[in-house]
Amino acid sequence: MSTLPSLRQLRYLVELADRLNFRQAADALFVTQSTLSAGIKELESVLGAQLVERDTRSVRLSPLGAQVAERARGLLASAQDLVGAVKGAAAPLSGVLRLGVIPTIAPFLLPAMLPPLRRKYPDLRLHLREDQTARLLERIDSAQLDLALIALPYETGGLIVRKLFDDEFWYVTRDDDPTAKLMQFALKQLDKGNIVLLEEGHCLRDHAIAACGPRGRDIAPEVEATSLPTLVQMVEGGLGVTLLPEMTIKAGILKGTKLLARPFAQKAPSRTIALVARATTPLKRDFDLLGDFIEEQVRRGTKAGVPALRRTGTTGKRNGDRRKS
C-alpha cells in the first residue's frame, strides 16, 4: 500500500503556495523554517515529484506543485468539515465557531449582538475575523472560516446564503450644506461629482454606486477613503457628501460631528445583510440557529439601532448572484 501524505504536509504546501516565502509561511504556521522545509521535502518524497522550485532569491511552485496545492485545499477543507460534523453532533452553537464579518458590519452590529448571544449560548466560543468580503469568502471556501456575515449583492458562487435584513442607505452631508435642511433627500438631487466613497476593494463602495441607479454609472470619485471613520472625517472636512448604511448611522458613527443624515424621499436604496457558509458545511444547524438569532435581534431591536432595519423574509437559499464587488 502506498504511503499517503499527511494533512500536516499538505497544510505546509498550501501555506507556502499562498505566500511563496518560507519565512512568512513558517511564521503563519507557528513552525520554524527548517521544519517547514523538511515537511515540504517529505511531501515531495512521498509523492515522488518536485513540487517547489527554490533558488537563493525566490520560491515558486512547479506546475505540478500548483495542482497538488489546489487539490490539497479541498482535502484540508473536507478534513475540517469532518471535525465540524463531530462538533455538530454535540450541543448547538457550542465550542469554537469561526465567524468572518466585513468591516462595514462588524463594529456596528456585533457590540449589540454579542452579549445576548453569549447569554443564550454560554458554551459558544466565537472566533471573529474582520476582513473584506473577497478574503472572507476565500477563507470560507478553504474551511478556514465556518460562516461569514457579508452584504449583498456580491458574487457568492455555490455558497449557502441566508438573507437576514435590508440596510437602507442615507444621504450624509455637513450641517451647513443647504441640502441638509431637507427632511428627505431625493436621489435625483445627488451631485455625483461631489460624492466621497470608500476605495476599491470595499463592497460598500459598489453598493453605494449601485444605490445611485443609472446615475451611478458615471461616478468616479476623486477622493476615496480607506475606512468608514476616515470617510466621515473627509465629509466633515468639506470634501464632499456620501451615502452611509442606516446601520452605521443608528450605531452613532456621526456622533460628535457636524454631519447630518437624511433618508431618501422615495423607495430607499439598500444593501442586504446575509449569512453565508459552504454548501458542504456540517454546521448547517449552527448556520440556521445563528441566522434565527440575528433576525430575532433585528425584531427586538438593539442598542445599535437595528429596529429600523427591514427584514428581507428570504432565508436559506443558494445564491446565484454573480455580480462582483
Question: pLDDT of the chain along its 325 residues, tens only?
Answer: 568 889 899 999 999 998 899 989 999 899 999 999 999 999 999 998 999 988 777 888 998 999 999 889 888 887 877 776 666 556 788 888 999 999 999 999 999 899 999 999 998 989 999 999 999 999 998 888 999 999 998 999 889 999 999 999 898 999 888 877 777 777 777 777 778 888 876 788 888 777 766 555 556 666 778 889 999 999 999 898 888 999 999 999 999 999 989 888 777 788 999 999 999 888 899 999 999 999 999 888 743 444 344 444 433 443 434 333 3
Between the CA of residue 26 and those of 50, 69, 220, what are the distances in Å? Answer: 20, 16, 41
Phi-psi region of 81 (alpha: psi -120 to 50; beta: other; left: phi over 0): alpha
* Contacts of the segment 83-92: beta carbons below 8 A, 24+ positions apart: 84/146, 84/281, 84/282, 84/283, 85/282, 87/282, 87/283, 88/282, 88/283, 88/284, 88/285, 88/286, 91/123, 92/121, 92/285, 92/286, 92/289
Q: What is the pLDDT of residue 222?
A: 65
* Collapsed DSSP state (helix, strand, coil) of residue 206: helix
- Work out whether the CA dihedral 65, 68, 70, 76 comes out positive or negative: negative
SS (H, E, C) 124-146: EEEEEEECCHHHHHHHHHCCCCC
**φ, ψ for residue 149, nearest 5 deg:** -100, 120
Give the separation between CA 311 and CA 30, rounded to whole angstroms.
43
Pairing of strands 124-130, 95-101: parallel
**C-alpha cell read off for 313:** 423574509
- DSSP string across 150-184: EEES---TT-EEEEEEEEEEEEEEETTSGGGG-SS
Task: Give residue 27's Cα distance to chain centre.
Answer: 24
Between the CA of residue 66 and those of 13, 52, 78, 176, 275, what are the distances in Å? Answer: 9, 9, 19, 57, 31
Give the separation between CA 54 and CA 62, rounded to whole angstroms.
10
Q: What is the pLDDT of residue 218?
A: 58
* Collapsed DSSP state (helix, strand, coil) of residue 90: coil
Give the separation between CA 206 and CA 200, rounded to whole angstroms.
8
- Residue 272 belongs to what H/E stretch? strand 270-277
Give the separation between CA 87 and CA 81, rounded to whole angstroms.
9
Q: What is the pLDDT of residue 86?
A: 67
Give the separation between CA 127 and CA 138, rounded to whole angstroms.
17
The answer to whether 151 touches 207, Cβ cutoff 8 Å, is: yes
Q: What is the pLDDT of residue 107?
A: 93
The answer to whether 174 touches 258, Cβ cutoff 8 Å, is: yes
Pairing of strands 147-152, 95-101: parallel
